[in-house]
Amino acid sequence: MPTFSAAGDASAVDRESRSVGPVRLPRVAGLDGLRALLAWWVVVYHARGSLFSAAFEVPLGPLAVLSQGTLAVDAFMILSGFVIFYLLDREHEPYRVFALRRLLRLYPVYAVCFGATLLLHGAYVGNLHANAPHLAPELLDRVLHDAEQPVRDLGAQLAVHALMLHGAVPEAWLHNAAGAFLMPAWSISLEWQFYLVAPLIFWGVRRGGAGAAAWAAVAIVAFATRERWPEFRFDAFLPQQLHWFAIGIASYYAYKWVVTSPRPPALLRWAPHAVLLAVASYLAARSARFGLLRGTSPGDWLPLAIWAFTLAALLATAAGAGGRLAGTTRRALAWPPLERLGAVSYATYLVHWPLFTLCQAAFRSAAGEPSPPAMLALHVAISFPLIAAASFALHRWVEKPGIELGRRLAARLRAA
């Protein structure tokens, strides 16, 4: 996932209108709702797996897409590209101010959850051993090696995780650096890598055609050569995932153009329908094994389809073009309970991992060795409410103080 990532500050976009250059962009309702859905998609994915148990095989029918949690993280990356460029275009902050605020947005919750996972690592390994009867021997060996080798390399692992650059470390240098201990944080490292270069991309795009073309070329080359890089666990090195962020960046400028245009195209009201038609056409062509689509899978397009449909609804609404489908989508994503879950989705994305470890160990202690389906049911009945409660607690007492500290320090840097 997970990431981004959940860490994109979409709530800042959703809750207020801000000046961007000489214009005021309207409130972008619905992005927090999308964040909530993506974060809980990752939670359901990990619950279904019961942390590597055979519950991964529990059938979900048409909801089987939930078994591909990395697709939610891909969509998070697109959303992050959109939101970060909104913020950069709104604030025009110096690099060090932007980086400091982003760091204090991410780090406090990350540090708390990483520390909790370290403390629970013995329980995590115990859970893996308890699941041994449900795992193929080669899979058991692999997941145990992934869990135990980082302990042997603890000093190096702590160093790269302290910098949040663990996703940029090749497997040949440090085994499972991206996924060690707090596994979902591989996408937080990816997000942080993006934050470090996003102002440079923004300044290049602002210079006009040459700068924008140069960064577009970088994204294209990175996408075309992504299979030739050394192995990075989860492809958590930014050049391997830059195309997702680039889609979000391009989407932001499309959105800005629509909302600042005196007469946006009336055909935008049909944009959500066009996305659904494109998806249906793809599925039909893939079923017929047509041309270049032969051999592709839904995972190749689903994150883009999710974002394209959301963006189409936002563009249609922003243009005043109306349309029942666009309005219904916007209202669904802006549903207050969903937006509240979205506001705490970063905490949800990280804290569910140590809580699953803790709950699974507790379930085993209280009920012996529950079957994988029983373990899954216990997670849904007990772990899910605990994850929601912990998310709100972390948001209030850890994440928000970090954001406020970032604002105060940023104000001092500006005044210096």
Least confident span in 94-108, 273-287, 358-372: 273-287
Nearest one of 107, 19, 199, 100 to 407, comparing CA atoms: 100
207-213, Cβ contacts within 8 angstroms, sequence gap of 24 or more: none
Give φ, ψ of 232 to 5 degrees: -120, 125
Q: Any alpha helices (H) in 55-180, and if so which ranges?
A: 69-91, 95-119, 121-130, 137-152, 154-162
> What per-residue confidence (pLDDT) applies to 238?
95
Report the distance separating Cα 317 and Cα 259, nearest Å. 10
Tokens of 169: 């470390």
Locus of tokens 């075309």 = 224
Give the residue-averaged pLDDT of 152-179: 97
What is the pTM (predicted TM-score) of this model? 0.89
* Mean of the per-residue pLDDT values of the chain: 84
> What per-residue confidence (pLDDT) applies to 402?
97
- Max mean pLDDT range (114-123, 139-148, 330-339): 114-123
pLDDT band at 305 (very low <50, low <70, confident <90, very high): confident
Report the distance separating Cα 199 and Cα 32, nearest Å. 23
Report the distance separating Cα 304 and Cα 81, nearest Å. 13
Domain positions in the chain are 5-263+346-415
pLDDT band at 369 (very low <50, low <70, confident <90, very high): confident
